Structure 1
Amino acid sequence: MLFRMSADIGIDLGTATVLVFSKNKGIVLKEPSVVAIDKSEKGNDRVLKVGEEARQMIGRTPGNIVAIRPLRDGVISDYDITEKMLKYFINKACGKRRWIAPKVAICIPCEATAVERKAVEDAAKNAGAKRVELIEEPIAAAIGAGLDITKASGNMIIDIGGGTTDIAVISLGGMVVRQSIKVAGDEFDETIIKYIRKKHKVMIGERTAEELKIKIGCVFNADPEKTLEVRGRDLLNGLPTNIVVNAAEMQEALKEAVYTIAESTHSVLEKTPPELASDIAEKGIVMTGGGALLEGLDKLIEQYTNVPVYVAEDSISCVAYGTGKVLDYIFED
C-alpha cells in the first residue's frame, strides 16, 4: 500500500509577508499576510480571499468586506483570522489531500512573550500541524544568510521585517545579546504617509506609500533628481490629485525611523562582550529582511557604528531558508 507522506515545512510568519519552505522543494509559497473577510453575517465571518488577492482589496472594499492583516508587530493580533490564514497556506503548500499532518517550524521575533509564543503554536496546531517548533528570527536569518553560528565566534544580524526589527549577536548557536524593536517596514510606510500629508496636504494609502519606499526610498545621500509621481486625495478640496515626490523627501520622511534602528544596533554592540565585538568588527554586520533593501540603510548603520555592514543575498527569503535548513535537526525524531 502506498502512503502519501506530508513534507515538513518551515514558515516565516511575517507581519507583511508569509513565506513557506517545503523540505526538498525550497520556498513554495510567498504571499502577503492579508485576509479578506465578509462581515455581512454577524458572528459568522466568512473568508473570501487570502494572500495577494486579499491585498489587492485593501482600501477598495465595500462596508461588509474587510481586508485584515491579522499580524501586528510580528505577533498575532487576531487569533481566529491568523488560524484561518495559516490553514490556507499550509493546505496550499502541502496539498489538501494528504494523509499525514505536516510538522511545522515557525519563526517568531526574538523577544516574543510566552503568551505570544503559545498563540502562534496553538494557531498552527489548529490549522492542521501535527507538531510545531518555534525558532527565533535572528537565528533563522543568520543560518539562511549562510553564517556559521555553531562556532565560538561572534556574528551580528539585523533582520528588518514588516512589523519588527530583530538585532542579535550570535555565538555557539545561541543569542548572546538581542533586541527587538517595533520599527520596520510598516513603520516606514506610516512615516511616509504622515510626511506626505503634512508637506503636500495630500492623503495617500498604504500601497502608494510602499511603492514610494520601494522605488525611490533612500536614507543616505539621497538624489533629489530621483522622483516618482503618485496619486492621492487633496485634503483641501477632497479631490484626487497627482504629486511628484523626490528621494530627498523620502530621506527626510524616514530619518527618525531608520535612526531608531541605527541606535538600537549601537546599543546591542555596546552590550556585546569584547571578544565577540572584536569578531563582529572584523566580519561586519549582516542585514536581512525586506527592510534591508531600503537604499542607503546599510551605509547609514555603517557610519553610525563604524562597523562594516553587508546586505545578505536574497535577504527577503533568508528567514525562510534558515528555517528550512534546520528542519532535519528539530524534527529528526
Structure 2
Amino acid sequence: MLGFNSDIGVDLGTATVLIYRKKNGVVLKEPSVVAVNQDSGKVLAVGQEAYNMIGRTPGNIVAIRPMREGVIADFTVTEVMLKNFIQRASKKKLMLKPRIMVCVPAGITSVEQRAVLEAATRAGGKQTFLIEEPRAAALGANLDIFEPSGSMVVDIGGGTTDVAVLSLGDIVTSSSLRVGGDKFDESIVQFIKNSHNLIIGERTAEEIKKQIGTAHPQAKSETMEVRGRNQVSGLPQNIVINSDEVYEALREPVTNIIDCIKQVLEQTPPELSADIMDKGIVITGGGALLNGLDKLLQEEVDTPVFIPEDPIGSVAEGTGKALEYLDKLESSLMSSKNLSKGRR
C-alpha cells in the first residue's frame, strides 16, 4: 500500500508560491502571477514567465496577482495557478491525489479560509488542511512548538505580517497586519514620485529594496541609479538615490510592523515572555531579508532576534512538517473534511 509521500505543503503567498514535498524539500518556487488574455479569457503564462510580463504587455493581456494581502482576490485565477503549480510539483504519473497543507495569515476570516480550502481541493487535493503562517514558520524554523514553553515568530510575507507566540503546539496570542513586502515596494514608489517627480514600476521598487533598502539608519550606505518616467515632462529620466532615502521611504511600514510586535508582546503571559527573552524572536519570510530589520527590532524590544538559514522557505517547509505532525495538530486545523469547523 502506498503511503503519503505525495503529500505537499503550499506556502500560498501574495508575492511567491512555494511548494514543499516530503523527502524532497521545496520543489517549486514561483511568483504568484498569472498572465491572461482579457479578450479570450485564456491563461497565457503562470509564475515566472507571467511575472516577466508585468508592465510589459499590450492592453489585451494583463498580468494578474490573484493573491492580495495574503488572501484570494481572484478565485478562478488562483485555482488555475494552484493547479498548474501542484501538477508541476507532483511526481509524474502520480496515482494518488495528495493531501495538501496550505498556510494562511492568522487573521483571515472564515469566508477567506473556505475560499482557500475550496481552491486547493479543486486544484487536485485529496484532503486539504489550513495552518496559520506563524505556526508553519515556527515548524519550518525548527522551533519545538509542542513544549510548554513560549516561542515567538514574526513572518513578514509579501502581503501580510503575522506575529505569534506559541506554546504546546498552538497559538497563545497573535496579530496579523496587512503590511509586507508589497507595502515596502508601494512606499518606495510613492516616495520617489513625491521626492523626485519620477514614476517607477513595482519591479524597479523591488530591486531598490533588495539592493540598497534598509530598515536601520546606520545599517547601510549605498547608492543606485534608477530609471523611470518624469511625471511632469513624461520623458524617460535617470536619477541616483541612496540608502538614506529608502530608509525614509520604508520608515512607516517598518514602524507598523514593530508596533504590531510590541502589541503581541504586551499581551503575552509573563511566563512565556520570560521564555522569549531567553530564546529570542525568530523572523521569517522575504521581509526578514530587509537589511537592518533584525538589528532595529532587537534595539526596539531589547530581545535577541534570529533569522533562519532560509527565511523564505521556512513557511513552506513548515507546512510539510505539519502533515508529519498531523496527529498532534489536526484537531486545531480547519480542513476540507469539515468546512464548518475552523479557527477564526
The TM-score, its normalising length taken from structure 2, stands at: 0.92
The structural deviation recorded for 1:324 is: 1.3
Q: Which amino acid aligns with 1:298?
A: D
The 5 Å alignment of 1:9-158 reads 9-41=8-40, 45-95=41-91, 97-158=93-154
Q: Which amino acid aligns with 1:39?
A: Q
Cα distance change of structure 1 residues 228 and 275 upon mapping to structure 2, 3 Å threshold = same
From 199, 206, 215, the equivalent of 1:210 is 206
Corresponding residue of 1:188: 184
The 5 Å alignment of 1:173-322 reads 173-222=169-218, 225-322=221-318
Cα distance change of structure 1 residues 267 and 93 upon mapping to structure 2, 3 Å threshold = same
Corresponding residue of 1:168: 164
Q: Take 1:326 and 1:224, find their aligned partners in 2: how far apart are those partners? A: 37
Deviations 1:108-129 (A, max 9, x none): 0111111111000000111111
SS in 2 for 1:315: coil
The structural deviation recorded for 1:49 is: 0.3
Q: Which amino acid aligns with 2:59?
A: G
Cα distance change of structure 1 residues 213 and 157 upon mapping to structure 2, 3 Å threshold = same
Q: Which amino acid aligns with 2:21?
A: S
Alpha-carbon contact 2:154-2:164 (below 8 Å) kept: yes
**Gaps in structure 2 of 5+ consecutive residues:** 331-344
Structure 1 residue runs of 4+, over 6 Å off?
2-6
Q: Take 1:3 and 1:306, find their aligned partners in 2: how far apart are those partners? A: 50
Deviations 1:224-265 (A, max 9, x none): 741011110011110111111100001000001100000110
Q: Which amino acid aligns with 1:211?
A: E
The structural deviation recorded for 1:329 is: 2.9
Q: Take 1:71 and 1:95, find their aligned partners in 2: how far apart are those partners? A: 26
SS in 2 for 1:316: coil
* Count of matched residue positions in the alignment of Structure 1 and Structure 2: 329
Alpha-carbon contact 1:222-1:247 (below 8 Å) kept: no
Q: Take 1:225 and 1:280, find their aligned partners in 2: how far apart are those partners? A: 32
Cα distance change of structure 1 residues 331 and 83 upon mapping to structure 2, 3 Å threshold = farther
Q: Which amino acid aligns with 1:16?
A: A
From 313, 322, 329, the equivalent of 2:325 is 329
SS in 1 for 2:56: coil
Q: Take 1:96 and 1:66, find their aligned partners in 2: how far apart are those partners? A: 31
Q: Take 1:154 and 1:6, find their aligned partners in 2: how far apart are those partners? A: 32
The structural deviation recorded for 1:307 is: 1.3
More moved, 76-85 vs 92-101: 92-101
Q: Take 2:138 and 2:157, find their aligned partners in 1: how far apart are those partners? A: 14
Deviations 1:118-146 (A, max 9, x none): 00000011111111011111011001111
The structural deviation recorded for 1:24 is: 1.4
Q: Take 1:77 and 1:200, find their aligned partners in 2: how far apart are those partners? A: 32
The structural deviation recorded for 1:5 is: 8.3
Q: Take 1:4 and 1:114, find their aligned partners in 2: how far apart are those partners? A: 31
The TM-score, its normalising length taken from structure 1, stands at: 0.95
Q: CA RMSD in A?
A: 1.8
Q: Which amino acid aligns with 2:116?
A: V
SS in 2 for 1:12: strand
Deviations 1:78-131 (A, max 9, x none): 000000000000110114633221111100011111111100000011111111
Q: Which amino acid aligns with 2:17?
A: V
